[in-house]
A and B are shown apart, each in its own frame.
Chain A
Amino acid sequence: MANRALGAPQLPGPQPVANKDVVAERAGSRPLLSASSSRVADEIFRYAMLACGVCVLALVGLIIYELITKSSLSWHASGWRFFFRSEWDPVNDEFGALPFVYGTIVSSILSLVIAVPLAIGVAVFITEMSPPWLRGPLAFTTELLAAIPSVIYGLWAIFVLVPLLRLYVEPFLGRYLGWTGLFEGQPFGIGMLAAGIILAIMVVPIISSITREVMTAVPQPQREAVLALGATRWEMIRTGVLRNARAGILGGVILGLGRALGETMAVTMVIGNRPEIAKSLFAPGYTMASVIANEFSEATGNVYLSALVEVGLALFLVTIIVNIFAQLLVWSVTRGAPARGNA
């Protein structure tokens, strides 16, 4: 419906140069392509491509529709209380998503705490410090981290990271930082800390590639100007580059948050999958994505299934809002970057 109202766009895209009247008026010889048939074909082609575009629109609509209708049962049963109760008891049809919300938020924030300094450090090194010949390979290698499937991260975490945490890192943290309450209890290896670390490894390439992008968008003369005022290299990076790029960097961080919130497999494999809320990071937890992964295919009963879909709906809405916000921040910095020139 919308497409008909809009008609053929007259904006910058390619404009037909050949006027159909001109082609039709070629006297004598038969035109190579008859105007009327090519117009019909053009229309068919246009509508076919439009159909593909509408498909994208329809898919998102369908996702929202399915999530809302399939979760209505649980929504009617408990309403907003669903997200503030901590009992998850499928046998008695008691469903509260608080432990999953808590686990998702804590594991994501923990991953950002670890990943943000590392990612910014890597981006600063690649754009400002690295010798030119090392720049390409380093950027490629960090991007490679993003190409490893999540299940392989999980596999590696189970057999390499978790034993390392159990035997060395967690006893050490417990002894020296146990008084904070964040690092107390039995060092299982598996738990919130393991999930946070593996998420951090997965999120670093996203944050660092966006940070690199927005740092490159800062015009070169600005760096030279700050250096000319007598700044050291770090002062130049801090006042001349990072300060200008901060909105974009924040956007990259939030984009990383979006990825961490929705990440499923690697987290499911190391977080321990127990719906409990504990202060210690050594304790096992559960996230929204992992509860769906673990329980969806064996969920018996309509309310149980509907409760899991509602968890999915909440996860969907949160990641969408986070992603849109991040996208806007990144645009605010990189938009118009080529126009400003990069000497």
Chain B
Amino acid sequence: MQTTPVSLYRRAVNHLVTGLSVLAVFLVLLPLGAIFAYLVYKGIGSINWAFLTQTPKPVGEPGGGMANAIAGSCLILAIASTIGVPIGIGAGIYLSEYGRNRFGDLIRFTADVLNGVPSIVIGIVAYSLVVLSQGHFSALAGGAALAIMMIPTITRATEEMLLLVPNMVREAAYGLGVARWRTTLSITLRTATSGVITGVMLAFARVAGETAPLLFTAFGNQYWNWKVSEPTAALSLQIFTYAISPFDEWHRQAWAGALILIILIVLAVTAVRVATSRGMLKGA
């Protein structure tokens, strides 16, 4: 047997491909780095006390801020979570504890379908369901639209996490005579808490920056609003309006708003993680 050395051509191709994939990694990381760098570079200079506490000023007047938009985003997200989280977790419990059948498969499939619906289409539906029946744009409509987007993500995550809980744990509870509903809520769900919360935070982070479904549901507002049934400003909407405007002052504020939006999302996610990880340690 004679061993032939690997031909030069084959070695060259091998190195070429290695080089190309390293190049691909750089090309993908480049925009990521550029986006974060620009957010910090352009945004940080425009964040000041006025930006965080004032409402927008009319065009041409310097100053003003996005305080009402920040509050509006919080209001809309609170509504969305109030509607979306219980339904999502409930549907997840149904799928994992009772849904090992055809009907469960159907729900599982529809949840995946709902997950793929473009956000702008959800906006149309929230418009025709809530805005048309109320007669005007409202924070509630925006919250409903975002809730619809949260539900499928939470459902699938909850189901996956509950299925990871070993059956022995459930059987042990039944063996002690604990009712099934009680077992599900305080044993199974409790065991899977941290995974379920990760799923909820994933859904939350996904909708927190959504703009398209809010365009004709929450609509935006130049003033403070705390009423659920009134049009509300939202950070993402404000960024959009300012970014496509022709005014430099507004461009500056759009960058600042974007930086705040990213910071708020990261803060919310970390806060919940920290709070629950402490609770989990105690529980375990």
Q: How far is the CB of A185 from chain B (nearest CB, A)?
A: 23
A129 CA / B20 CA spacing, docked (Å): 12
Q: How far is the CB of A242 from chain B (nearest CB, A)?
A: 11
Residues of chain B from 161 to 215 with CB closer than 8 A to chain A in the complex: 167, 170-171, 174-175, 177-185, 188, 205-206, 208-212, 215
**Cross-chain pairs A/B with CB under 8 angstroms, 29 sampled:** A9-B98, A13-B98, A14-B167, A14-B188, A17-B174, A18-B177, A33-B179, A38-B182, A42-B179, A46-B98, A52-B94, A53-B99, A53-B107, A57-B110, A63-B117, A63-B121, A63-B125, A67-B121, A119-B24, A125-B25, A147-B205, A151-B236, A155-B243, A155-B258, A156-B39, A159-B42, A234-B14, A296-B124, A323-B112
A27 at the interface (CB under 8 A from B): no
Residues of chain B from 229 to 246 with CB closer than 8 A to chain A in the complex: 236, 239-240, 243-244
B40 at the interface (CB under 8 A from A): no
Instruction: Contact check, A141 vs B32: say whether CB atoms are below 8 A apart.
Output: yes
Given the known A-B contacts A56-B107, A56-B151, A262-B119, are A18 and B175 also in contact in the complex, defined by CB atoms under 8 Å? yes
Instruction: Contact check, B209 vs A152: say whether CB atoms are below 8 A apart.
Output: yes
Instruction: Contact check, B239 vs A152: say whether CB atoms are below 8 A apart.
Output: yes
The count of chain B contact residues (Cβ–Cβ below 8 Å) is 102
Instruction: Contact check, B212 vs A265: say whether CB atoms are below 8 A apart.
Output: yes
Instruction: Contact check, A296 vs B216: say whether CB atoms are below 8 A apart.
Output: yes
Residues of chain A from 23 to 43 with CB closer than 8 A to chain B in the complex: 23, 31-33, 38, 41-42
A160 CA / B236 CA spacing, docked (Å): 19
Instruction: Contact check, A121 vs B212: say whether CB atoms are below 8 A apart.
Output: no
Instruction: Contact check, B179 vs A41: say whether CB atoms are below 8 A apart.
Output: yes
A92 at the interface (CB under 8 A from B): no
Residues of chain B from 35 to 50 with CB closer than 8 A to chain A in the complex: 35, 38-39, 42
* Chain A residues with CB below 8 A from B177, complex form: 18, 23, 31-33
Instruction: Contact check, A320 vs B116: say whether CB atoms are below 8 A apart.
Output: yes
Query: In terms of DSSP, what is the predominant structure of the interface of chain B?
Result: helix
Q: How far is the CB of B146 from chain A (nearest CB, A)?
A: 12
B95 at the interface (CB under 8 A from A): yes
Stretch at the interface among A83-91, A311-319, A335-343: A311-319
Instruction: Contact check, B239 vs A41: say whether CB atoms are below 8 A apart.
Output: no
Instruction: Contact check, A9 vs B100: say whether CB atoms are below 8 A apart.
Output: yes
* Chain B residues with CB below 8 A from A13, complex form: 96-100
Looking across the interface, which residue of chain A has its beta carbon closest to that of B184? A45
Q: Mark A42-72, 1 if CB is under 8 A from B, else 0.
A: 1011101111111111011011001100100
* Chain A residues with CB below 8 A from B86, complex form: 52
Q: Mark B26-40, 1 if CB is under 8 A from A, else 0.
A: 011101101100110
Instruction: Contact check, A309 vs B209: say whether CB atoms are below 8 A apart.
Output: no
A192 at the interface (CB under 8 A from B): no
Instruction: Contact check, A9 vs B240: say whether CB atoms are below 8 A apart.
Output: no
**B residues engaging A (CB < 8 A)?**
6, 10-11, 13-14, 17-18, 20-25, 27-29, 31-32, 34-35, 38-39, 42, 86-91, 93-104, 106-107, 110-114, 116-125, 127-129, 148, 151-152, 155, 167, 170-171, 174-175, 177-185, 188, 205-206, 208-212, 215-216, 219, 236, 239-240, 243-244, 251, 254-255, 258, 261-262, 265
A217 CA / B182 CA spacing, docked (Å): 38
Query: In terms of DSSP, what is the predominant structure of the interface of chain A?
Result: helix
A261 CA / B117 CA spacing, docked (Å): 10
A38 CA / B212 CA spacing, docked (Å): 46
* Chain B residues with CB below 8 A from A228, complex form: none
A308 CA / B120 CA spacing, docked (Å): 11
Q: How far is the CB of A54 from chain B (nearest CB, A)?
A: 8
Q: Report which of A18, A57, A59, A151 forms a contact with B174, defined as CB distance below 8 A.
A: A18
- How many A-B contacts at CB < 8 Å in the complex? 291
Instruction: Contact check, A315 vs B118: say whether CB atoms are below 8 A apart.
Output: yes
Instruction: Contact check, B179 vs A38: say whether CB atoms are below 8 A apart.
Output: yes
Instruction: Contact check, A9 vs B101: say whether CB atoms are below 8 A apart.
Output: yes
A319 CA / B173 CA spacing, docked (Å): 44
Instruction: Contact check, A14 vs B28: say whether CB atoms are below 8 A apart.
Output: no
Residues of chain A from 112 to 170 with CB closer than 8 A to chain B in the complex: 117-122, 124-126, 129, 138, 141-142, 144-145, 147-156, 158-160
**A residues engaging B (CB < 8 A)?**
2-3, 6, 8-9, 11-18, 23, 31-33, 38, 41-42, 44-46, 48-57, 59-60, 62-63, 66-67, 70, 117-122, 124-126, 129, 138, 141-142, 144-145, 147-156, 158-160, 201, 204, 208, 230, 232-235, 237, 258, 261-265, 269, 289, 292-293, 296-297, 308-309, 312, 315-316, 319-320, 323-324, 327
Instruction: Contact check, A316 vs B117: say whether CB atoms are below 8 A apart.
Output: yes
Instruction: Contact check, A11 vs B261: say whether CB atoms are below 8 A apart.
Output: no
* Chain B residues with CB below 8 A from A234, complex form: 13-14, 17-18
Q: Which 7 A-B pairs have the closest CB atoms?
A: A149-B209, A262-B118, A121-B24, A52-B90, A45-B181, A323-B116, A38-B179
Instruction: Contact check, A121 vs B99: say whether CB atoms are below 8 A apart.
Output: no
